[in-house]
Amino acid sequence: MAQLTVTLSEPMAAKLNALPPAEQRKIAEEIRELAEEAIKMREFPDIYFMDGPTGRRARVRGGIDVWEFVEPYYVHGKSWDVLRESYPDHPESVLRAALAYYEAYPDEIEERIRRNLGE
């Protein structure tokens, strides 16, 4: 990991300090997560991050969590046809956005899929 020094404006520092602590993490860990998510959202404009019962996760605009889209694709040998058949009401652009994110961050998505499958 690379170590960086970050200077925030007073209003942004106050907002960061006001965020609810996630699992008693340090501010540096919060900044790291926020920076990583911001970079991923710049890389994939159709992806955003959302809190939920299982933690923060990547979600596709106009759709569901990335792992949910990818699960049938992953389980059935990475078959585009299975993915398309699993989500006939979603535009191809949404499915492609989920796959592009998965291809860039497979460990993150596969870990969620395995957890959902009880592996």
Domain CATH code at residue 87: 1.10.10.10
User: Is 99 part of a structural domain of the chain?
Assistant: yes
- pLDDT for 113: 96
**Residues linked to residue 59 through DSSP beta bridges, in sequence order:** 48, 65
User: Is 68 part of a structural domain of the chain?
Assistant: yes
pLDDT per position as a tens digit, 33-51: 899 999 999 999 999 999 8
Mean local confidence (pLDDT), 7-35: 81
Averaged pLDDT score across all residues of the chain: 91
Do 30 and 76 reside in the same domain of the chain? no
Binned at pLDDT 50, 70 and 90, residue 84 comes out as: very high
Residue 19: domain span: 9-43
What does pTM read for this prediction? 0.87
Please tell me the total count of domains within the chain. Answer: 2
Rounded Cα gap, residues 64 and 24, in angstroms = 28
Do 51 and 17 reside in the same domain of the chain? no
Q: Count CA within 13 A, CB hemisphere, residue 66.
A: 29
Do 59 and 106 reside in the same domain of the chain? yes
